Chains A and B, each alone.
Chain A
Amino acid sequence: MSELTYATIDQTILQTLEKPRPGYWLIVAVLAGGILLGAACWLYQIFVGIGVGGQNNPVAWGTYLINFVFWVGIAHSGTLISAILHLFRAGWRNPIARAAETMTVFAVLTAGLFPFVHLGRVWAVYFMLPYPNQRTLWPNFQSPLMFDVVAISTYLTVSSLFWYTGMLPDLATVRDRATGLRKKIFTLISLGWTGKHEQWRHYTRGYLFFAALATPLVISVHSVVSWDFALGVVPGWHTTIFAPYFVAGAIHSGLAMVLTLMIPLRRIFNYEKIITVAVLENVAKTIILTGMIVGFAYATEFFIAWYSFNSIEIEVFRYRMLGDYRVGFWIMVVCNTLIPLLFFFKKIRTSIGWLFGLSLLVNVGMWFERFVIIITSVARDFIPHAWGLYAPTAIEFGIMLGSFCLFFFLFLLFVKHLPSVSMTEIKETLHEGAPHAG
């Protein structure tokens, strides 16, 4: 990063906020159309019934919860990168922290929609809130779904605040260079940041505390999500390793999504000097680790099923490997555990093309992991007479497409309207005495 100066950093990053080209707006419009399509599918479902999806008895949970877990998983590495790696003083995370955090916030937002989409009677969703009422009815805090409500809302709150707090000095930088309406808006949202020493002192302390507060959430949120399954009696769900297994999986998918997002970003915005290949390489190395953890978890599940001598447990895992959904299972195994091993080769983990391609495959694999867990377990649970199959319908795909459009729509708006790389933190990485101007 020797050639970077404070000025080139500002210049490179602020350049991204220039007036966008028409192509940008075209993509934004297409994505908005996708969101509308998803919303229309959801409306149709609300009016007609959940039956427009493919869920049935016994598989009463389908892509809505798969996507929920998928997006919550994506959300995880943002906080991991910005909070945990911050605490560990891993400087390589600075260039990607902002974008990763943004990814977190938007992914949680997207994920948070799916429980609503999933509900049979979404208009009665407020029954889940502990509001005082004459019927003295109260939510059931024993239910993992109530844990979810608490965990996801907490996570959304904390990650948004963390994201916003970290952005304050940058917002002020934008404000200082802006004119007109933009200046007014950024004046408002930069909350009177002047860069005084006192403000910096509070800011760095505050940021550190936020990082410390957010760190346990990385572990807890996906643990809680895993308990949606692990606290059930269903074979294939009812295991104690689910919490760490899900957390590792979440980080695995999140890191892959970071690569998926960063590689086009650095290319389009000429961030090559800021988001260097070394940074991406570090992400890839971490993916090797998480991939191996996930692979270990898969193996453990199979071992315990065999070791339990429980015919029902054994059947569920046999079915996963060889049954109706075996394709999904093998996609999951190959993409999540074998493909990341390719990153052991330096050539591959430093090649942008390979990095991008493999990160997509890991994303696909992680989606299928949730599919395999959620679908196959109930499709073959205790009562053979009730066994059945599930396949998603067009409505479900429409809503899923809508969710991806929503995520990328928000992210696209973000990259052109807010600094997508933290100028403050990049400047921190410059060694002492770097020239302030030039």
Chain B
Amino acid sequence: MNRRTFLKTAGVGSVSVAAGCTSQPEKTIYALVQAPDDTVTGKALWYASTCRECPAGCGVLARSREGRVVKVEGNPLHPINQGRLCMRGQAALQAVYHPERLDTPQLKENGEWRALSWAAAEGLLQEKTRAAAGAGAGRVRVLTEVIGESLAALFGEALDQWQSPPPLVFEPFAYEALKTANRMAFGVDGLVSYLLDQADLLVCLGADFLETWLSPVEYARQFKAMHALQTNRKGFFAHIAPCQSLTAANADLWLACRPASEGAVALGLIRKALESGRGQSLPAPLRVSLTAASAPYTPEKVAQLADIPADAFDRLAARLLAAKAPLVLGTATAGSGAADVAANLAANLLNRVLDPDLTRIDFAHRHRVETAAPRAEVLDFFKRLSPDTTGVLLLNNVNPVFALPGAGIAEGLGQPGLFVVSTSNFMDETTLLADLVLPVRMPLESWDEYGGKRALISGLQPAMGSLTAAPGLGDVILRAAFGADPPFPDYQGYLQARLTAQGIVDGKRQWVEFLQRGGRFDLPAAPTLAPLPAEVPVAFDPVPAAAASLVLVAAPSIRFFDGRGANRPWLCEIPDPLTKVAWQTPLLAHPDTLANRAIRHADVVQVRSAHGTLEAPVYETVGVRPDVLVMAIGQGHSAYGRYAQGEGVSPLGLLPPEADAVSGGPVFTAGDVLLTPTGRQMPLAHTDGSRIQHGRKIALTTPLQAAAHDDAHPPKAGLTMEDFPLTLPLPEGYDPMRDAYPPHDHADYRWSMVVDLDRCIGCGACAAACYAENNIGVVGAQHILEGREMAWLRIERYLDPQDERQVIFLPMMCQHCDNAPCEAVCPVYAPHHSKEGLNNQIYNRCIGTRFCSQNCPYKVRRFNWFTWQWPRPLNLQLNPDVTARSKGVMEKCSFCIQRIKAAHGTAKNENRSIRDGEIQPACLQTCPTAALSFGNLMDSESRVRRMVMDRRAYQVMGYLNTKPAVIYLHKVVQEI
């Protein structure tokens, strides 16, 4: 064999070996051969749209790469969320790319599903509606989620064509009690909004405004505007509720009142206020009736009724009366029973007493969810539903079968002769009972408009090509109602014409601006308020006497809302903020409750109410009262795709199916609940190893007095855990007394993050954003049990061992240490200290010794135990700027290095250096409360540089001398 032959043979051999082996599942990079005009391969396009994951209506910007949306972020121009999003908003993408999203219409024939063409499905819809309309008036009915005004108007016109009543708007959480109380106390039949940021004291009768209540992102931001430390002062927040929601965990004072006794506490406060001479400007009849109604609620009586310490109540009342700008909020999202009407009414009246002009209540910008029909109406609708009166029932993105178990919905939908059409993209419990499934485009693929509040118009536009060939809902309705000759060619035209007619957009230029900005937010607010009613029927039922039995509270989940989020893998994977349990729905119970029944943590118990039975594992916590059990709403689906079906349990089946007589709303509590052990156990997939800090310097607090006064001398620096100083990851942080090695040289930048624990509410939006941005694998419950969750950023939740009701949250991610323990131990330099101080992880270099993880004191490194899968088409969401890692390599937070590199590119093109605040890592970008800051420590003017000079600044376990570049600020705590 000569040299040439050898080379040829070797070449062919090695190529065939290389071509024959496929080890990676996803190697194809899709590139557009002919790009649309506005697309440059590799450059992202941003489209303004509106989040439709809950009725709040936050503005989003969808980041589109090569025709597919890879990330949604808040729209900074949008007045509701001002650029921030919650974790449900972040996970909206996973609905679009869900592997079980229907890609064709389905027709049920003899109980079997048959795929249908889009044209055939629409034809069938047209035929059925025409037939129904022909058979008489009112025979086409629509049940829809909360929708924008324009779509509602179109529905109205279409239903007019069919001689049918307007659509019925169904939301599982419709705030009936709050609406009733608003009508009584303010004369407003709707849901006013609140200006939390203008208050200095907040009393909350259970409203979980950091999780689901009305508009959580907006209220979280406003809450921290009043509650975070600002030059020596900080607002005060008291929460009065039987169980500790995330909102209550963020309160300065949580009074665990007996269920349904919130109103009594508010009346007690009214009594105190009136006694102290407040409320003089109230109309006389109201003042008189209030005085009479609140008279029995002496502090002792309140303490006894609500089972709260009398002195705590007294101090709260004193603090409330001393406040300059107090604001009282009503009951929780899932609070619409009779007692909640009383409590909300008392809250409203207390607001009137304390602030007769109601300056912190915004009557102009009412929440759009007020358009939802009361539960009683919905139940009535289903009760009357019959083929005799209805021919076609169109269900738009609602799941009443899941939301209203025991109300006979399934029987109603299953009646022969009734043609049920669902526009859902998923085979959920309700859609399974439909006759025709006609999936329509998802919000990110559609033209529409939705205003989360009055006087706000927020646009939706297709941010991506439709993933399926589905038509838009508006187009379907136009074609179905107006046949071959619709007044507008498509819904976009209808929308544009309608907005033009209303003077919201004027001409093409304004239309483009409307789309670019994401809506019109400068519309004049409607004239606000009729005079407040002078007489309010203040008849309060006596609070029910203490029942010996257990009360089950079904609470909306920050992760799944009413259950619609349960099929998004990120939301399942990111643990609940308080229990840190992922994928499962535990039953929260007090240790005393369990001890009395010989039940232990993680035992499976049977829960029985008058209306149903379920089995669930128990989670022991002092975050509930001993007479209360709490379970989150959202999981326990019997359909709805692989991530939802069979995961967790739903407490809804234990609740009374009928609506409350007073409010017309559902009752989310069940009394006289029986707990019986089953003798089985179920390991809980929780991500926390310990609930307490064991005295280590991890998540620290400082009293308000100490934070507010600047006279203390800086503590003397030493080498122990107690007195180790802040050592900046800069040359100045090095001291020959402590350091054997010289400092790193950094070129121009030393990136650093500051986490203000006083602002962190523990909501987990940052973690969701991190999953979305960085292609982090979802591992599922079993692997979480095995300790393999992949989150680069986790919220550590610690309880105070002295009082476990005191909760502190600490976002933990790679600390990008200047003196990083991981870097030294890797045999191949896979963790690498960059010129800008980043601790880079070089995936291709990593051989998987896992020594770095062992040696990381913060345990923030994540190993790819397997090659994690993104079932198609979830893989289309993967961020093309970030490598998807395969099995055997270590990964971790990179400070979103792809964003840093992009900023470098922009700065270089513009021949300048990177500006402070120009780089926003995904976590920081979405944080509703702006708890995170990022920037260059070498710039003496930068925001982070100024923040690390704060006396509250510290490093987690700084005494290890790792010199972390993530610097935390103490949480500021205050006593009442």
- Smallest Cβ distance from A272 to chain B, in angstroms? 47
Q: When the two chains form their complex, are residues B847 and A127 in contact, meaning their CB atoms are under 8 A apart?
A: yes
Contact A387 B689 (CB under 8 A): yes
B691 nearest CB neighbor, chain A only: A384
B858 touches A49 (CB 8 A): no
Please indicate the chain A residues that have their CB under 8 angstroms from the CB of B783 in the complex: 51
Q: A54 and B827: CB pair below 8 A?
A: no
Contacting pair A121 B866 (CB below 8 A): no
Q: Which A residues are in CB contact (< 8 Å) with B796?
A: 383, 385
Query: Please, which residues of chain B bring their CB within 8 A of the CB of A390?
Result: 787
Describe A's contact surface by its main secondary structure: loop
- Cβ-defined contact, A311 with B721, below 8 A: yes
* Most B CB within 10 A of own CB, among A144, A315, A384: A384
How far, in whole Å, are A233 and B847 apart by their CA atoms in the complex?
21
Chain B 793-829 per-residue mask, 1 if CB under 8 angstroms from chain A, else 0: 0101110000000000000100000000100111111
CB < 8 Å neighbour of A143 from B698, B827, B957: B827
Cβ contact within 8 Å between A311 and B694: yes
| A289 is an interface residue with CB less than 8 A from chain B | no
Contact with B along A124-153 (1 / 0, CB 8 A): 110110000000011110111110010000
Q: Are A120 and B689 touching (Cβ within 8 A)?
A: no
Give the complex CA separation of A231 and B721 in angstroms: 20
In the bound complex, CA of A224 to CA of B788 (Å):
30
Any A CB within 8 A of the CB of B503: no
Contact of B865 among A49, A121, A125 (CB under 8 A): A49
Contacts of A128 in B (CB 8 A): 827-828, 847
Whether a CB of chain A sits under 8 angstroms from the CB of B854 is yes
Please tell me which one of the listed residues A48, A50, A143, A382 contacts residue B848 in the complex, with CB atoms under 8 A apart. A50
Task: Determine whether B973 belongs to the interface, using a CB cutoff of 8 Å to chain A.
Answer: no
Chain B residues with CB under 8 Å of A140's CB are 824, 826-829
What is the minimal beta-carbon distance from A322 to any residue of chain B, in angstroms? 15
Interchain CB contact under 8 A, B689 and A382: no
Closest-by-CB residue of A relative to B851 is A145
Residues of A within 8 A of B859 (CB): 57-58, 381-383, 386
Q: Are A121 and B848 in contact (CB under 8 A)?
A: yes
Distance from A147 Cβ to chain B, minimum over Cβ atoms (Å) = 9
Contacts of A276 in B (CB 8 A): none
- Chain B residues near A315 (CB-CB < 8 A): 694
List of A residues within 8 angstroms of B862 by Cβ: 57
Question: At the interface, yes or no: B198 with Cβ under 8 Å from chain A?
Answer: no
For the complex, what is the distance from the CA of A55 to the CA of B862, rounded to whole Å? 12
Task: Determine the chain B residues whose CB is within 8 A of the CB of A122 once the complex forms.
Answer: 847
Nearest-Cβ distance from residue B378 to partner chain A, whole angstroms: 43
Q: A50-B848, A120-B888, A384-B689 are in contact. Are A137 and B861 (CB under 8 A)?
A: no
Specify the chain A residue showing the minimal Cβ separation from B788: A56
> A59 → chain B, closest Cβ, in Å?
7
Contact A383:B857 (CB < 8 A) given known A51-B866, A120-B850, A310-B721: yes
In the complex, what residue of chain B is closest to A147 when comparing beta carbons?
Answer: B827
Q: Tally chain A residues at the interface, Cβ within 8 Å.
A: 51
User: Are the CB atoms of B828 and A127 closer together than 8 Å?
Assistant: yes
Q: Is the CB of A54 within 8 A of B854?
A: no
CB distance from B818 to the nearest CB of A (A): 15
Known: A121-B888, A312-B696. A384 touches B690 (CB 8 A): yes
User: In the complex the two chains form, what is the Cα distance from A385 to B580 in whole Å?
Assistant: 10
B786 at interface (Cβ–Cβ under 8 A)?
A: yes
Contact between A56 and B854, CB atoms less than 8 A apart: no
What distance in Å separates the Cβ of A194 from its nearest Cβ neighbour in chain B?
A: 43
Residues of chain B with a CB closer than 8 A to A312's CB: 696
Chain A nearest CB, measured from B20 CB (Å): 15
> Which of B825, B846, B853 lies in contact with A57, CB distance below 8 A?
B853
The interface on chain B, measured as residues whose beta carbon lies within 8 A of the other chain's beta carbons, has a size of 53
Known: A121-B888, A145-B825. A385 touches B846 (CB 8 A): no
Q: Which of A49, A138, A149 contacts B864 (CB 8 A)?
A: A49
For the complex, what is the distance from the CA of A383 to the CA of B690, rounded to whole Å? 9
CB neighbours of B788 from chain A (8 A)? 51, 56-57
A327 at the interface (CB under 8 A from B): no
**B960 adjacent to chain A (CB < 8 Å):** yes
Flag whether B561 is at the interface (Cβ < 8 A): no
CB distance A60 to B850 under 8 Å?
yes
Q: Which among A57, A382, A384 has the highest number of chain B CB atoms within 10 Å?
A: A57
B849 and A119 within 8 A (CB): yes
In the bound complex, how far is the Cα of B695 from the Cα of A388, in angstroms? 18
- Check B812 against A385 for contact (C-beta < 8 Å): yes
Let me know if A61 is at the binding interface, CB within 8 A. Answer: yes
Whether B688 sits at the interface, judged by CB under 8 Å, is yes
Residues of A within 8 A of B821 (CB): 232-233
- On whether the beta carbons of A386 and B696 are closer than 8 Å, the reply is no
* A59: chain B residues within 8 A (beta carbon): 787
Query: Which residue of chain B lies nearest to A59 when distances are taken between CB atoms in the complex?
Result: B787
**Bound: A61/B692 CA distance, A:** 25
A261 within 8 A of B: no
Residues of B693-708 at the interface with A, using a CB-CB cut-off of 8 Å, are 693-696, 698
Asked whether A382 lies within 8 Å of B696 as measured between CB atoms, the reply is yes
Residue B845 interfacial (CB < 8 Å): yes
What's the A-B contact tally at a CB cutoff of 8 Å?
170
Residue B863, interface by CB 8 Å: yes
> Which residues of chain B come closer than 8 Å to A124, judged between CB atoms?
847
Decide: A384 and B847 in contact? CB cutoff 8 A. Answer: no
Complex CA–CA separation, A119 to B851 (angstroms): 10
Mask of A249-286 contacts with B, CB within 8 angstroms, 1/0: 00000000000000000000000000000000000000
At the interface, yes or no: A219 with Cβ under 8 Å from chain B? no
Tell me, in angstroms, the Cα distance from A424 to B957 when the chains sit together: 61
Instruction: Give bound CA distance, A139 to B694, whole Å.
Output: 38
A384–B847 alpha-carbon span in the complex (Å): 28
Query: Does B855 belong to the interface (CB within 8 Å)?
Result: yes
A98: which B residues are within 8 A, CB to CB?
A: none
Choose among A49, A228, A390 the residue with the greatest number of B CB atoms under 10 Å from its CB.
A49
Asked if B678 is at the interface (CB within 8 A of a chain A CB), the reply is no
From the candidates B693, B845, B866, name the one contacting A384 in the complex (CB within 8 A): B693
**For the complex, what is the distance from the CA of A139 to the CA of B830, rounded to whole Å?**
10
A386's closest neighbor in chain B, by CB?
A: B859
Instruction: Please determine whether A232 and B825 come into contact, CB atoms closer than 8 angstroms.
Output: yes
A236 vs B753: C-alpha distance when bound (angstroms): 31
In the complex the two chains form, is A233's CB within 8 Å of B787's CB?
Answer: no
A370 interface residue (CB < 8 Å to B): no
B689 x A61 contact (CB < 8 A): no
Residues of A within 8 A of B638 (CB): none
Bound-state CA distance A55–B851 (Å) is 12
Distance to closest chain A CB from B783 (angstroms) = 7
Report if A234 contacts B (CB, 8 A): yes
A84 within 8 A of B: no
A137-B845, A388-B689 are known contacts. Are A232 and B854 too (CB-CB below 8 A)?
A: yes
State the Cβ distance, B860 to closest chain A Cβ, in Å. 8
B450 → chain A closest CB, angstroms: 39
A232-B848 in contact given A57-B862, A120-B863 (Cβ < 8 Å): no
User: Does B887 touch A at the CB level, under 8 Å?
Assistant: yes
Check B696–A384 contact: CB distance below 8 A. Answer: yes
Q: Nearest-CB distance from A392 to chain B (Å)?
A: 12
Q: A140 to chain B: closest CB distance in Å?
A: 5
- Whole-angstrom CA separation of A310 from B694 in the bound complex: 12
Chain A residue contacts of B689, Cβ below 8 A: 58, 383-388
Verify if A174 is at the interface (C-beta below 8 Å from B). no
Which of chain B's residues have a CB closer than 8 A to the CB of A381? 857, 859
Across the interface, which residues of B come within 8 angstroms of A119, CB to CB? 847-849, 888
Question: How many Å lie between the Cα of A149 and that of B796 in the bound state?
Answer: 38
Q: Is the CB of B787 within 8 A of A125?
A: no
Whether A120 lies near B812 (C-beta < 8 A) is no
Instruction: Give bound CA distance, A311 to B692, whole Å.
Output: 14
> Which residues in A have their C-beta under 8 angstroms from that of B890?
120
| A-B contact list, 8 entries, CB within 8 Å | A49-B888, A50-B863, A60-B853, A128-B827, A128-B828, A140-B827, A145-B827, A383-B689
Nearest 3 Cβ contacts at the A-B interface? A120-B848, A387-B689, A51-B865
Sample of 7 more A-B contacts, CB < 8 Å, known A49-B888, A54-B786, A382-B960 = A56-B787, A119-B849, A120-B864, A139-B828, A140-B824, A146-B827, A383-B858
